Structure 1
């Protein structure tokens, strides 16, 4: 339990999340269970999200502006910011629950290619899960940005493909490749000495995050801690720690991916850290 008043930032963060969910990002679509699930019975979620596990059937729609990044604010339910800029470059997608995974699928990368529609190029494109799809039209459903959807088309047929609305696609999980980036942490707005919320971004490699732990540089009384404290998933790709003492920075952050790989960013959050600030680090693997 945090110190008196430490619940205020958490409450503010919860209100922000409720506002996001109320507005919504991905569009509502009608769900035809019989048609949507046809052809998918041989695949489990784990089959569909392991690397290079073969092509899996899915469906795709699109939302937002035809050449946009999806959400009007270039954000989404994962908490990522500026999805119109590198490394997202407007190639984001909402994923339904088997892809979004209550936020643990945020940041995962998938190759997708278009099937059947005459406007499809047949070439694969890589998209990143940046948002949640609440109204799936198939067992695996990518609600793509207008940019990503259009990239599946033959040259000059982008708009024609977008007019198709719902299309059949195939997908497979791939590592994320973000040249020049390793991993970054955005300290969220309401963080304070007893409450720390971090948005995990730009993870080159697996992309997804299933657990985040924090190590303080020392105890409140001085000695080094050498102890990892688990953070709790707040929403999307935002993880938080409510403390019963003033947290002692700099902080080292440890991340575990779905594949079991562990990454450590040593002293990535400095002693003079500030809310609403982005910090980037190279990582150690273990």
Structure 2
């Protein structure tokens, strides 16, 4: 049954249980990119920046076309294990990662490249891949499933743009992890739906400089958070502000 919960000025509208997003184990494959320090895994198609500063670290993955879903899977969390390859799989190894990037198709030299549709594939950081198998394995068979995302603190909003338009990178989302809709409200305005530019980058052309900012975030399972007064009236572009709540795990 849907219900409201009010905590410290935060209104949470709960429509579905987080557990509903968990799935049975499914088959896919995995490779890795970058080095053990993860330098090549920063930034990416989801719009995130320094993954260490944002709390994702090396526990990340780029998803194939089939899984990336035009960026709508950004922020989702997965549990992965290596299977059916005793030569390379490490015994009882299981990792947890967040989708932060896109593994693009490659039609040359062959149409069966691992990130081409309709294949389900995870391109992991090297540090995560080597928890599952030896790096020289190259590509391994895996099983994966969606799991709730566990985050510390509230949802975070990195503000970018200029006085004429504002973009917001939404990250550190717990629970389902996936953001479906974002709306913004200035202290002198009503709620304004934001447009997804790509991944977790959202934009409005309404001028909001000088107004304190609140956000309404809708998660993948239909849960909605109203985060009041996230950024003060003197907020600055290039700064990150943290909401006073997050989705349940």
TM-score, length-scaled by structure 2:
0.80
Aligned to 2:138: 165
Greater relative CO, 1 or 2 (CA 8 Å, sep 6+)? 2
Q: Choose the corresponding residue for 2:148, options 144, 155, 175.
A: 175
Q: Structure 1 residues 284 and 174, CA, compared in 2 at 3 Å: closer, same or farther? A: closer
CA RMSD of aligned residues (A): 2.2
Within the alignment, does 1:242 sit opposite 2:205 as a pair? Answer: yes
Alignment correspondent of 1:87: 55
Q: CA deviation at 1:235?
A: 1.5
| Preserved CA contact (<8 Å) 2:153 2:245 | no
**Counterpart-to-counterpart distance in 1, 2:98 and 2:229:** 28
Greater percentage in helix? 1
Q: Which runs of 5+ in 2 are unaligned?
A: 1-19, 106-114
- Residue in structure 1 matched with residue 22 of structure 2 by the alignment: 52
Select the residue among 40, 45, 69 that pairs with 1:101: 69
Instruction: Choose from 140, 145, 162 the match for 2:120.
Output: 140
2:157 paired with 1:185? yes
Report the counterpart of residue 209 of structure 1 in structure 2.
179
Alignment deviations for residues 207-241 of structure 1 (CA, whole Å, 9 cap, x no partner): 111111111211xxxxxx4x321100112211000
2:40 paired with 1:71: yes
Whether the 8 Å contact between 2:154 and 2:246 is mirrored in structure 1 is no
3-state DSSP of counterpart to 1:71 = helix
Distance 1:125 1:246, change over 3 A: closer
Q: Cα distance, 1:116 vs. partner?
A: 1.8
Residue of structure 2 in register with 1:273 after alignment: 235
Q: Which runs of 5+ in 1 are unaligned?
A: 1-49, 154-160, 219-224
Moved beyond 4 Å, runs of 4+: 245-248
CA contact (8 A) 2:54 2:172 kept: no
Give the 3 Å change call, closer, same or farther, for CA 85–186 of structure 1 in structure 2.
closer
**Residues 84 and 117 from structure 1, CA distance in 2 versus in 1: closer, same or farther, beyond 3 angstroms?**
farther
Structure-2 change in CA distance of 1:275 and 1:70 (3 Å): same
Give the drift of 1:283.
2.4
TM-score computed with the length of structure 1 as normaliser: 0.70
Aligned length: 218
1:127 has 2:100 as partner: no
Of Structure 1 and Structure 2, the greater strand share is in 2
How big is the shift at 1:285?
6.7
Give the aligned partner of residue 11 of structure 2: none
**Structure 1 equivalent of residue 9 of structure 2:** none
